[in-house]
Structure 1
Amino acid sequence: MAGPRNLLVATVVVRNAEGKLLLIRGPRRGWECPGGRVEEGESIQAGAVREVKEETGIDVELTRFCGVYHNVTQTITIFLFMGRPTGGKLTTSEESLEVGYYPVDEGLAKVTWKNLRQRIESCLAEEAPFLVEFDENDYP
């Protein structure tokens, strides 16, 4: 019998040359940074880059590893990176009803899920890599 599987997720906080945040409006959680599940056999960094491209149409270069959020009870590990756009064109997808670049304050105000906003703020704070462990009762 196989043990529990740990779901790996990669999220990228992308800032363009003007310092604006790249955000998507998803069908379930509203506004957030692009990211998603790392596929089997895929590196975490490759998954991060692929998810940004799939959800936004933007090619990115990862510039910094920020840290990890780990949902202990649901065994979900979220790797967070900073990135910068290197090409592509803003495009919506099934996972993104809207995409765009927003000034940081305006962008953060759009992100209504506290835990999603907190992850962005953790990356923007440029602290040393962080590890945040929580259980499903900590967040909605």
Structure 2
Amino acid sequence: MSSKVDYKFWTLCLIQKEDHVLLLDRTHDEFKGFIPPGGKVDFPESFTDAAIREVKEETGLDVHHVTYKGLYEYVNPTKNERYIIMNYSTDQFSGTLLTDSLEGKPTWIHIDQLMDIPMQHSIRRRLPYMLEEGTFEIHVEWDDEKDEEKHVHIKKT
């Protein structure tokens, strides 16, 4: 087994307006469902700058006072891969919301409906932590042979 690890970095930013959050309705690839705006971090960009840029590209909005909420990571020991997603939130934004985006249709969803709409399991798992005070770390070890989660560790502060 090689000691070199392949690191990949992404961001997500949950935008809240009163009792609604802004999600993208993704329908174009294998990651279908509702998801907060976000994407890959471009080197040498900071994680926060990447989150702000991705929100602008995917929603048309400029976010302000972005708050770090937590870390979500997948570790695949078989392939020596580590996928790290930095999660942010804000309720301060300006600009005009796009009617559509390459990543999905921006849609305001009432907080009470979040657990009833289609979304990836990893998004559903972290949304409650993103809406609460404090930060979180979710560490998922992937079983490559079974193509499923092997261990999940959640820490909340």
**Same topology, TM > 0.5:** yes
Identify which of 31, 35, 42 aligns with 2:34: 31
Superposition deviation, residue 109 in structure 1? 2.1
Aligned counterpart, 1:121: 128
Structure possessing the higher relative contact order (Cα contacts under 8 Å, 6 or more residues apart) = 1
CA contact (8 A) 1:32 1:116 kept: yes
Higher Cα Rg, which structure: 2
**What fraction of aligned residue pairs are identical, expressed as a percent?**
26
Structure 2 residue matching 1:41: 3-state secondary structure: coil
* TM-score w.r.t. length of structure 1: 0.86
- In 2: Cα distance, 1:121 partner to 1:88 partner: 27
Aligned counterpart, 2:20: 20
Structure 1 residue matching 2:6: 3-state secondary structure: coil
Query: Please, which moves more after superposition, 103-112 or 24-33?
Result: 103-112
Structure 2: unaligned runs, 5 residues or longer: 143-147, 151-157
Aligned counterpart, 2:102: 94
Identify which of 57, 69, 87 aligns with 1:80: 87
1:21-60 to 2 correspondence within 5 Å? 21-26=21-26, 27-28=28-29, 29-60=32-63
Structure 1: unaligned runs, 5 residues or longer: none
Superposition deviation, residue 107 in structure 1? 3.5
- In 2: Cα distance, 1:124 partner to 1:95 partner: 23
- In 2: Cα distance, 1:116 partner to 1:134 partner: 13
Distance 1:58 1:111, change over 3 A: farther
> How many pairs does the alignment contain?
136
Aligned counterpart, 1:6: 7
- Is 2:114 aligned against 1:103? no
How large is the Cα RMSD of the aligned pairs?
A: 2.1
CA distances 1:98-138 after superposition (whole Å, capped 9, x unpaired): 11212112244224322211111111122x32211112322
CA contact (8 A) 1:9 1:78 kept: yes
Aligned counterpart, 2:138: 132
CA distances 1:42-70 after superposition (whole Å, capped 9, x unpaired): 00000001111111111112442111011
